[in-house]
Every structure is written in C-alpha cells, then in structure tokens.
Amino acid sequence: MEACVQKTQPIVPNDAPSLPSQVIPYVNKFDPRGRKVKILATLGPASSDPEMIERLLKAGADAFRVNMSHGEHAIHAQTIATIRALEKKTGRPIGILCDLQGPKLRVGKFREGRAVIPHGRHFTLDRNEEPGDETRVQLPHPELFGLLQKGQRLLIDDGKIRLRVIRADKEEILCSAEVGGVISDRKGVNVPDAEIPIPAMTEKDRRDLAFAVQHKADWVALSFVQRPEDVAEARRLMGGYGALMAKIEKPLAVRHLDGILELSDGIMVARGDLGVELNPEEVPPLQKRIVQQARAAGKPVVVATQMLESMIESPAPTRAEVSDVANAVYDGADAVMLSAETAAGKWPEEAVSIMHRIAAQVENDPGYDERIRLTGVEPDATTSDALAAACSSIARTLRISAITVFTASGSSARRVARERPRVPLLVLTPLQSTSRRLALLWGVHAVHTRDIGSFEEMIGKGKRMALRNGFGEAGAKIVVLAGVPFGTPGATNLLHVVTLAGNELERYDGDADG
C-alpha cells in the first residue's frame, strides 16, 4: 500500500482569545496537539464554509460531527467533501461522525401556533388531527396510546412543561399540568417512565444511514437507543462498514448499558435529553459511571451537550462551563463535543480553541495522572492486553517520549489507550479507515502508512515515524508494539524499547513510506 502521509508540520492550535489567568496555553514537547483528549466539533450554518472548517481544525478540532437532523443530503455531501479535501491538504486523518436524528416524539399543531397551559389544569393529548388549544393537542404517535399508565410523566419542550398522566386509553391521554406554560407547534415530548415500543431508527434515519455509509463516514451515532437490539439493527444495516456509536440519552438505555456497550464501537453521553428525563442531580454521577464502563471496555466515550453553551453568544465561557469540561477530562473521557457552539454560535473558532486550552491545562496538572487512574482498568487475561498494560507501566518507569503501535484494525491502539499512559500514542496503520476512526480515541495520533513485513522494518519505521511526526528526538526512547506474524489481525505479541538516533531520517531520506 502506497503512503498517504505528507511530510507536513504538525497541526498546532492557534493562539486562543484570553481566558482567566489560571487557564493558559500548553504544548507537550512530544505531542503535536499538546493534549490527549479529543475534540469533536459539530458543523452547521456558522461553520459550513471550507475556510471556517480549516480554522476549526487548526484551533484544535480532531473530528467533525454532521448532524443529520438538519440540512439536505446535498449539503452534507458537500461538507464531507470539504473535510476530505482538507484532510488531503494537511496530510492528517480527520474523523467524520454522522449523527442520526432518531425517533423524536412531538406534539401536533395549535390553532394559533401556540397555547398557554395553566399550572394545575387538565390537558389532553389525543389522536384528533384538529389544531390544538389550551385544553388539548394531537399526539401523532399511536404507539403511546394504551401504553401509558396513571402517574407516569410526559415532559414537553425539554421539560419546560411537565404533565402527569391521570388516565390513558387508546384514544386519549388525560393529564394534569404539574408545570404549565407556553406550548407551541411540534414541540418534543419525552416519556421517561415507559419503554416506548418503537425502533431506534425511523425511515429518515435509514435513509440518512445509507447516505453515511455511501459517503464513507467513519462513525455513525445512533440516537435514542433504548435496548441492545436497537444497536444490533443499526449494525446490520451498516453492512460491516464504519463504526457505530450509541448515544445514551434515555433512562432505559442506562439500565441496558452493559448490553449496549458490548454491541457498540463507542458511547456518547448525550446529556441533553438524559438531563430532561432524569433529575439534574442524577446526571453527573451517571456520566462518570458511563465513562468508567466505556473505558474499562476499551471503547471511545464522548461527553456531549452544553459544554460551552454560553459561547453560542459570548466569546468567553462561564467558570462553571470551564469546570464542566475539565471534569470530563479528569474523568478520562476520550473526547468532548461542541454542539451549537460551533454549529450555530457566533464564536465557533474561539469555542474550539478554548476547549483545547482547558483540556491541555488539565492534562498539564501535576495531579492529572493520579486522578485519571482513580478508575481502575484491569487487563484481560490475553497476551495483547498484558502487553498494552506493560506499555503504560514502562512509560511510568522510563523516560519514554511515545508509544508507537502498529495496527490494522485499531484494536491494539484501543487496548493501550484504555490504560491512559502518560505519553501519547503514535499509531501506524495501513488502513485509512482505521486512521480516521482513531481520531476519537484518547491520546492517539494516527498515521496512514504502508504495512510492515519484518521485525527490522518495524523498528526502522517506528523510529522514522516518531521523528517525522515530532514524537521524539535524538536520544529519546520509544516503546514499539506490534504483532508477529505481521499483517495478522489480533496477534499483538511483541514489545520493544528503542532509542532514536539523530541520523535515522537521513539514512532513509529517499524512503517514501510515510
């Protein structure tokens, strides 16, 4: 396989706007990004043109989210083409995540476009298609009728209106408005107390999933997952292409977390809807639990929603938002996500840059290494896991500048990353699809390059690529992890510590292996 890596300078985030004095820029000497946690930035009207996407990449974005809830396929196709062109220009793999909308429940329309439900009054959700008023409205989801029971809750417009079921049959659901207020056309409905017998994918989602596979999206995010079967169905439709990320945003998904995690390639803690359906105080410990379980499974976990929400309008975050991002980094999340901040906000580039600086500052904290190890991860009883754990142990004992991992599927990189070693991971892979998917994996700097065929070639290439990509200098030591026979998936069984020589690149100056 011919090399796809250009000899470019590492992408280092631009200088960011001023933050409070305790949050300062930081660049790790042997890490082009200066941090290990990844940044996933959502693209939208504020960030759709090629120039802004490039600025977001340079500001610190590692991967981009395409929200399939908004926009036409033609626009999304143009966005993906722009990212791929930028990838070719920079010589760096860039991950693309297509986020499916999912089966969002909504009320019908109102006679005047809106109505006011008084506190404590009765309000009816029915199957009547007539426009609603302050006493009733259509609920165009027949699967809910006859399912809901007395005492269960319905939350409308992200919980701004809270209804309690008094009586439900196959034609109407009579409720009491515990919290009333203004309700308008097509507002969303959450049903936290019941398992809704609907699939995780609508017909729109199926079309969007086919689009994502056709345009070679690296990740597909599945919204409103309730059970492992939802994940299995999406995986079947993907036909083996790409990686699947399950979004945890419903209480039922939390109860089925083990099964969902087993069938997924990654997890997203989608705190928006999760925070609506649960009490607010329940979300932070749940976030930590999900991150911990995903880390133990060696699968990427993304923390999302309202991380720097105030930066939709303001050029600087609140102190609470800075702490929120910092806590996700301290917990060991693989990635943190920006939503409306970069998709529709006034300060998209600044939001990415500040998130980068917060993460880098946290990782430069002397107590970070100890904090991130509060979550114990025990290696499985396999040679591959034992060697991955050994890489982390060696990095704590010796002055190692990087861990170089040769992998085709990315499995070896995930094993090492779940140990959260002190040094960055330089991952060399012959598959471009693998290099792109690893854009959301903690600590990884992936390089697409030709495969190796011998031990000598492995050592030589490991040294050269470490020097070329800024992961060491003459005299520095690196750990090299691979499998013999080479090219055999799942055969990680070789660990070697080598010292970089200053003439390593000169000796192979004519080598175009990447």
Domain at 395, CATH number: 3.40.1380.20
Cα 406 to Cα 127: distance, rounded to the nearest angstrom: 58
- CA-based nearest residue to 424, from 458, 464, 382, 469: 469
* Catalytic site includes residue 247: yes
Same domain, 216 and 167: no
Cα 88 to Cα 78: distance, rounded to the nearest angstrom: 15
Active-site residue, selected from the candidate residues 42, 82, 305, 404: 305
* Cβ proximity of 448 and 4 under 8 Å: yes
Task: Give the amino acid at 177.
Answer: A
Is residue 28 one of the residues assigned to a domain?
no
* Catalytic site includes residue 383: no
Q: Which of 171, 190, 209 is the last residue of a domain?
A: 190
Per-residue pLDDT of the chain (514 residues; tens, 9 = 90+): 334 433 333 344 444 434 433 333 333 466 777 899 999 999 999 999 999 999 999 999 999 999 999 999 999 999 999 999 999 999 999 999 999 999 989 999 999 999 999 999 999 999 999 999 999 999 999 989 989 999 999 999 989 999 999 999 999 999 999 999 999 999 999 998 888 888 889 999 999 999 999 999 999 999 999 999 999 999 999 999 999 999 999 999 999 999 999 999 999 999 988 999 898 899 999 999 999 999 999 999 999 999 999 999 999 999 999 999 999 999 999 999 999 999 999 999 999 999 999 999 999 999 998 888 777 677 777 888 899 999 999 998 999 999 999 999 999 999 999 999 999 999 999 999 999 999 999 999 999 999 888 888 989 999 999 999 999 989 999 999 987 766 666 667 789 999 998 766 655 544 445 5
The structure tokens 């995903």 sit at: 294
Is residue 309 one of the residues assigned to a domain?
yes
Determine the structural domain holding residue 55 and report its residue range: 38-102+199-367
Cα 251 to Cα 152: distance, rounded to the nearest angstrom: 14
- CA-based nearest residue to 339, from 438, 396, 272: 272
Same domain, 74 and 126: no
Same domain, 63 and 109: no
pLDDT of residue 34: 86
Beta-carbon contacts of residue 458 (< 8 Å; ≥ 6 apart): 406, 452, 480, 482, 486, 494, 496
pLDDT of residue 2: 36
Number of alpha helices (DSSP H) and beta strands (DSSP E) in the chain: 17, 22
Is residue 468 one of the residues assigned to a domain?
yes
**CATH at residue 177:** 2.40.33.10
- CA-based nearest residue to 358, from 326, 399, 386: 326
* Cβ proximity of 228 and 267 under 8 Å: no
Same domain, 223 and 334: yes
* Catalytic site includes residue 305: yes
Strands 105-106 and 188-190: antiparallel
Angle at which helix 283-297 crosses helix 319-331, to 10 degrees, equals 30
Residue 112 structure tokens:
């005047």
Active-site residue, selected from the candidate residues 84, 106, 206, 227: 106
Cα 67 to Cα 74: distance, rounded to the nearest angstrom: 13
- CA-based nearest residue to 91, from 408, 425, 353, 432: 432
Q: Which of 128, 156, 190 is the last residue of a domain?
A: 190
Print the SS3 string covering 87-154.
HHHHCCCCEEEEECCCCCEECCCECCCEEEECCCCEEEEECCCCCECCCEEECCCHHHCCCCCCCCEE
* Catalytic site includes residue 397: no
Residue 494 structure tokens:
């070789």
Active-site residue, selected from the candidate residues 92, 247, 250, 414: 247
**Helix, strand, coil percent values for the chain (each to nearest 5):** 35, 20, 40
Same domain, 273 and 396: no
CA distances from 483 to 141, 388, 405, 418, 425 (A): 53, 12, 10, 19, 16
Same domain, 224 and 335: yes
Q: Which DSSP state fits 110?
A: B
- If one counts every other C-beta atom within 10 angstroms of the C-beta of residue 252, the result is 16
Active-site residue, selected from the candidate residues 33, 36, 65, 187: 65
Beta-carbon contacts of residue 88 (< 8 Å; ≥ 6 apart): none
pLDDT of residue 504: 64
Is residue 20 one of the residues assigned to a domain?
no
Q: Which of 367, 393, 428 is the last residue of a domain?
A: 367
pLDDT of residue 486: 67
Cα 159 to Cα 280: distance, rounded to the nearest angstrom: 11
pLDDT of residue 341: 98
Look up the pTM and report it: 0.89
Cα 62 to Cα 67: distance, rounded to the nearest angstrom: 16
pLDDT of residue 320: 97
Cα 233 to Cα 102: distance, rounded to the nearest angstrom: 13
